Amino acid sequence: MARYQPQVWGEEVSGVKVDLLSVSQRTLSQGFSIDSFFTGITKLSNLKKLSLVSLGIWGPLPAKVDRLDSLEVLNISSNFIQGGIPPEIATFKNLKSLVLADNLLNGSIPGLKGLSQLEELDISNNPLGPKFPSLGNNLERRRVEGWLEKQKAMPETVVEEAKC
């Protein structure tokens, strides 16, 4: 079976600087490889916004996502991303919005305190937890509380830790 090989875009396409990549309502082939896809995307060193919503992307989120160090917005919601959230996500210096809702992510959530610019976090509808990590000071906590409220049998101490 042939593996999906994404087209690799340069930092400039026809003289225009690429800082946003948004793909929606596309169908991926059976040979799709999330790892190969992210290898191609990491060539866009100035990419600020990455939106891959409802594409049917499957597989674990590769650790190489940390190569997108210019990202301000990462939205990979409503897919079939499985496994844990890579701890490398916590290294983004400019990330303001992290939306991983409606996937199959599981396990522990890595510490996110290093995301000092983070304002939005949506990890709802994923079987994550039960512990919740430390968060940066800029985060709009109501989105986090929305996730916590959906967790079944959540110990009260975990909820209190997330509110701190």
CATH number, domain at 37? 3.80.10.10
On average, the pLDDT of the chain sits at: 75
Which residue is it, tokens 């301000």?
72
| Nearest to 106, CA basis, from 147, 66, 60 | 60
Res. 117: pLDDT tops 50: yes
**Residue 145 forms part of a structural domain:** yes
**Residue 153 forms part of a structural domain:** yes
**Residue 35 forms part of a structural domain:** yes
Res. 96: pLDDT tops 90: yes
**Residue 82 forms part of a structural domain:** yes
Confidence (pLDDT) at 60: 94
**Residue 85 forms part of a structural domain:** yes
Residue 3 pLDDT grade (very low, low, confident, very high; cuts 50, 70, 90): very low
**Residue 2 forms part of a structural domain:** no
Spatial separation of the C-alpha atoms in residues 80 and 60, rounded to whole Å: 9
Residue 31 pLDDT grade (very low, low, confident, very high; cuts 50, 70, 90): confident
Q: Which residues of 82-116 are buried (b: 16+ CB within 10 A; e: fewer)?
A: beebbbebbebeebbbbbbbbbebeeebeebebbe
Confidence (pLDDT) at 130: 75
Number of domains in the chain: 1
**Residue 23, domain extent:** 17-163
**Residue 143 forms part of a structural domain:** yes
**Residue 23 forms part of a structural domain:** yes
Please give the residue that has the higher pLDDT: either 158 or 43. 43
Res. 8: pLDDT tops 70: no
Spatial separation of the C-alpha atoms in residues 78 and 53, rounded to whole Å: 6
Q: Model's pTM, two decimal places?
A: 0.73
